[in-house]
Chain A
Amino acid sequence: MDPYLLVEFDSKAFSLLAVQKACHRFSNLASFEVQVRSRDGQDFILVTALPLAAKSESGLEHLAKQLRNEALDQQLREQIRVQTEGVRNLILAHAFSKTGLISPDGSPPAA
């Protein structure tokens, strides 16, 4: 079998969505399978990555590192977006306030 990569993510630290987004970022380099598994009553997310082009051992290791970083990034993005939703909506609504594009309930045009 061709060399492949297995990366585990602790379900308590990472949401499924964050991991999926991270994988998506590298979908030009590999094909990803994302599963939720259990071990000793603890859930974890298992990512299997099959490189699209041949990769060396160090190349695979590099991909793993990048994937972990990206998952962290996506996880943080999610959390911070939720935390800052109020401020963000307020300021965007203010920006749009004189354009005539705001809906009656005051929210900015939805993305």
Chain B
Amino acid sequence: MSRFQPITFFNRHPAEEQAQYKLLPFRFTPLDDERYVATNLAGEYRLIEREPLQKLVEGKLSATDPRYVDLRARHFLTDVHSKMAADLLAIKVRTRHERLSEWTGLHMFVLTLRCEHACPYCQVSRQSEDKESFDMSREHATKALALALRSPNPAIKLEFQGGESFLNFDLMKFIVLRAKEENAKLPVPKDLAFVAATNLAVVTDEMLDFCGKHDVGISTSLDGPRELHNKNRPRPGGDSYERTIAGIQKVRQKLGRTSASALMTTTAASLPHVKEIINEYLEQEFHGIFLRPLSPYGFAMKTKFYRAYDAARWLQFYDEGLDYIIELNRQGVEFLEYYSATILAKMLTSRDPGYVDLMSPAGIGIGGVVYNYDGTVYAGDEARMLAEMGDATFKLGTVNDSFETLFTNETLLQALDESFAYSAPMCHDCAFEPWCGADPVFHWGQQKDFVGRKPDSEFCQRNMHIFKGLIRRMEEDTFVRQLFTRWANLC
């Protein structure tokens, strides 16, 4: 009978003829000897071998090639069958960049430089307890708060740092209470979040009660099992680990089971022990870990800690840790690696996780700002650490300056403009550019250049290694692909 047409009727490419298609913008970078990673305008990837890639680019890809339909559906090419690619790509690209205009969300307050720990890798030049001239003043805090609330971002996170932030608990209280007051007066009050970075060694019940009452989150340092942690983080009494663990338990008791988060710092001593470190986090009932690269600032630089290991060795550490975490998940243990999850969000979704170190335009100023104990304002944590080493290039001004003055700072604007990844050689053509970022502070620190020569850049090498590694793992194993997709959507 058939009033029904076969599928060939709807295919306007007659089988014998060459497919007529137009390429949509895409880039490609080798994954290995045989395959390339191709990414479309929206940063969605597909693997493709050299030969079909060549055919594709030369306009010779056959419509009967099984990849053809896929490449069309994924917006690498377009033909007469659909005109939706442009609109859909536009939506995705717009979504990726949407959050940029929210402006600075992370505002870091260095409440004091005082700290009773003596961690060699500390990126803050700490002073011992009796030097009170290293505390932030109320006057500075008030002005800094006003600047923070001036940001157009509908959600602001105030992070208290140090030294040891709780050594200036009075000021922390002052800022939290005043922030809530001033915020309520705004025509459109913002979503306020507070978090205190602390070693938990000096925290009292009174302090925790305050945090509970005012929703101040707690972020502490846990470098690994007891021996490693105490070796990394010496304090008088040598009991940093014990105090940290006791502190975590107390925080959970008073503030809730998921109220404490922990960060680790990787040192040369950590490198052979990634599994032990992860196991320590498991034992302490954390639901994930952030495998952070060591940044080349502060005491780390001075004590040649950074050079004690290089990017390649850290990548081994990271790979071993990630693979171990994947195995845990395979056994049914839900445990996350936050650094990978953040990167996966950029790779697998159109959302912007707002991770300051991996943004283009760079996260300096736009992503985060630091108000130092002495009233100086820096374009982010890295910027302040660079200043501690004697290079104040990324100092925006002081809290006495207006919002306008601070954010039209010439260096800031120049660095944002010059480091823009899409305009940088190599980055411009790199398939991974939509997922990557610009790090002008790092490149300035290393190469005295906002852009950096990417072939020399450890930032570039690290990121490329990670992108390729994550892709390889997903391609080899559906379980990992699904796990990573879930991670990408959690951030």
Task: Give CA–CA (A97, B99) in the complex, Å.
Answer: 11
A76 interface hit (Cβ, 8 Å):
yes
Q: Is A53 an interface residue (CB 8 A)?
A: no
User: Which of A73, A81, A95, A101 is B404 in contact with, Cβ under 8 Å?
Assistant: A101
Known: A97-B101, A110-B413. A80 touches B408 (CB 8 A): no
Stretch among B9-17, B195-203, B337-345, B414-422 lining the A interface: B414-422
A111 to chain B, nearest CB (A): 4
Q: Which of A80, A85, A110 gathers most chain B CB within 10 Å?
A: A80
B222–chain A nearest beta-carbon distance, Å? 35
Q: Which of A88, A94, A109, A110 contacts B100 (CB 8 A)?
A: A94
Q: A92-B417, A95-B103 are in contact. Are A84 and B97 (CB under 8 A)?
A: no
User: Is A12 an interface residue when CB atoms closer than 8 A count as contact?
Assistant: no
CB-CB nearest in chain B for A25: B449
Given contacts A92-B361, A95-B103, contact A80 B97 (CB under 8 A): no
Contact A80:B424 (CB < 8 A) given known A88-B417, A95-B103: yes
Q: Is B428 an interface residue (CB 8 A)?
A: yes
Q: CB distance A87 to B408 under 8 Å?
A: no
Contact, CB under 8 Å: A111 / B100: no
Interface size on B, residues (CB 8 A): 28
- Does B101 contact A95, Cβ atoms closer than 8 Å? yes
Answer yes or no: A99 CB below 8 A from chain B CBs: yes
Q: Chain A nearest CB: distance from B336 CB in Å?
A: 29
Taking A80-B428, A95-B103, A101-B407 as contacts, is the C-beta distance between A87 and B422 under 8 angstroms?
A: yes
Q: A92 touching B425 by the CB < 8 A rule?
A: no
A62 CB to nearest B CB, Å: 15
- Closest beta carbon of chain A to B357's beta carbon, Å: 17
Q: Known contacts A91-B361, A99-B407, A109-B413: does B422 contact A84 (CB below 8 Å)?
A: yes
Contact of A80 (CB < 8 Å), options: B403, B407, B425, B449: B425
B423 at the interface (CB under 8 A from A): yes
Known: A76-B425, A87-B422. A94 touches B414 (CB 8 A): no
- Please name all residues of chain B whose beta carbon is closer than 8 Å to the beta carbon of A39 when the two chains form the complex: none
Do A94 and B97 touch (CB < 8 A)?
yes
Query: Within 8 Å CB of A81, what residues of B?
Result: 423
Can you pick out 10 interface pairs between chain A and chain B where the beta carbons lie within 8 Å of each other?
A: A70-B453, A76-B425, A80-B423, A84-B422, A88-B422, A91-B100, A92-B417, A95-B100, A99-B103, A99-B403
Residues of B within 8 A of A (CB): 97, 100-103, 151-152, 361, 366, 403-404, 407-408, 410, 413-414, 416-418, 420, 422-425, 428, 449, 451, 453
